[in-house]
Amino acid sequence: MTRTARALWFTSSGNCEIRPVDLPTPGAGEILVRTLFSGVSRGTESLVLAGLVPENQRAVMRAPFQEGDFPWPVKYGYLNVGVVEDGPANLLGRTVFCLYPHQTRYVVPADAVTPLPDSVPAARAVLAGTVETAVNAVWDAAPLIGDRIAVVGGGMVGCAVAAVLARFPGAGVQLVDTDPARASVAAALGIGFASPSEADGGLDLVVHASATESGLARSLELLAPEGRVIELSWYGDQRISLPLGEFFHSRRLTVRASQVGTVARADRTYAERMALALDLLADPVFDTLITGESDFDDLPEVLPRLASGELSALCHRIDYGRAHDR
């Protein structure tokens, strides 16, 4: 008997739809996962939905289990938590995280999933991929005890970085964003908050995640001599202009890219980085980053609203409970 599932596909600019999918029978070394929750990575998925992945970056931007080719139609996404329904005994019945798109059930190699620690609830674990990005950024940033730090851009990734940096000994961390509503998120994380015009200067380190030209320029302005910006934003096909005169040379500033596709430490593997991200998610403070939830069947209507900003969210969680009742 052919087993089927349903998946979200990006079909044209601003449009997506749920399509049926035929599932293969799990072979040796494979597992069948029933999805419990997935998360919308708003920044990246908005670019994909708008068809703004540059042609020369399409191979780099492919999600691990993406189907189709950019710009459309593509099955895209990478924040998925589910239960193993078929597979080896050591995984059967386990709740796992996988870099898989929005789909009700799926078959993947057993080594493509990471079992959740008992201390991490499935509903929070949708943040694992984002916290993994934050861990990588902090490894790239290599902060020192007592550093003065800002995270510019209080979106999903920026807040995840701020949550990780908030644990760093002796560091003074400030979240900087144009949206005053992010002050409550910063307070929950135990760090300061400021608008771009009121942010503290003289900083040792700025992590930039606003994906705006003005945000990156302001990040440079906030730095002390020898300071550095870790650039986490991805701009798609947009070109960015920077003030590389002014203080850039006289203060000997640095801009360094950080991208989760490469592990920022040679002594760690992808699996070890993901396991660390899940361990960090045992802290319930990360629940602050989940600010909205919808049913799977509502995704074709919800995702364009997230992309346009009509729905404001850090991590928007997708619940599959009703989807499995169909």
- pLDDT tens digits for range 50-99: 999 999 989 989 999 999 999 999 999 999 999 999 999 999 999 999 99
- Would you give the DSSP letter of residue 129? H
Residues 90, 69, single domain; the answer is yes
CA–CA dist 154, 136 (Å, integer): 17
Q: What pLDDT score was predicted for residue 291?
A: 94
Burial 253-289 (b: 16+ CB within 10 A, else e): bebeebebeebbeeeeeeeebbbebbebbeeeebebb
The DSSP result for 264-303, as a single string, is S-TT--HHHHHHHHHHHTTSGGGGGGEEEEEEGGGHHHHH
Is 264 inside a domain boundary?
no
Residue among 219, 217, 162, 220 at smallest CA distance from 193? 162
Of all residues in the chain, the percent with pLDDT exceeding 70 is 99
Query: Is 70 exceeded by the pLDDT of residue 265?
Result: yes
Mean pLDDT of 180-191: 97
Query: Is 70 exceeded by the pLDDT of residue 220?
Result: yes
Is 35 inside a domain boundary?
yes
Per-residue pLDDT tens digits for 19-52? 999 999 999 999 999 999 999 998 889 999 999 9
**Residue 11, domain CATH:** 3.90.180.10
Instruction: Record the tokens describing residue 68, joined without a space.
Output: 């189709």
3-state secondary structure of 210: coil
Per-residue pLDDT tens digits for 221-261? 999 999 999 999 988 778 899 999 888 999 999 999 999 99
The total number of structural domains that make up the chain: 2
Q: What pLDDT score was predicted for residue 1?
A: 56
Q: What pLDDT score was predicted for residue 158?
A: 97
Residues 83, 21, single domain; the answer is yes
* CA neighbours closer than 13 Å in the CB half-sphere of residue 325: 7
- Would you give the DSSP letter of residue 20? E
Average pLDDT score over the chain: 96
Is 299 inside a domain boundary?
yes
Domain extent, residue 172, equals: 130-257
Per-residue pLDDT tens digits for 88-123? 999 999 999 999 999 999 999 999 999 999 999 999
Handedness of CA 52, 55, 61, 66 (dihedral sign): positive
Mean pLDDT of 294-305: 98
Q: What pLDDT score was predicted for residue 83?
A: 98
Is 275 inside a domain boundary?
no
**Residue 245, domain CATH:** 3.40.50.720
3-state secondary structure of 96: strand
3-state secondary structure of 35: strand
The answer to whether the CB of 225 falls within 8 A of the CB of 202 is no
Plot region of 14 (φ>0 → left; ψ -120 to 50 → alpha; else → beta): left
Of all residues in the chain, the percent with pLDDT exceeding 90 is 91
Is 227 inside a domain boundary?
yes
Residues 35, 94, single domain; the answer is yes
Is 262 inside a domain boundary?
no
Is 209 inside a domain boundary?
yes
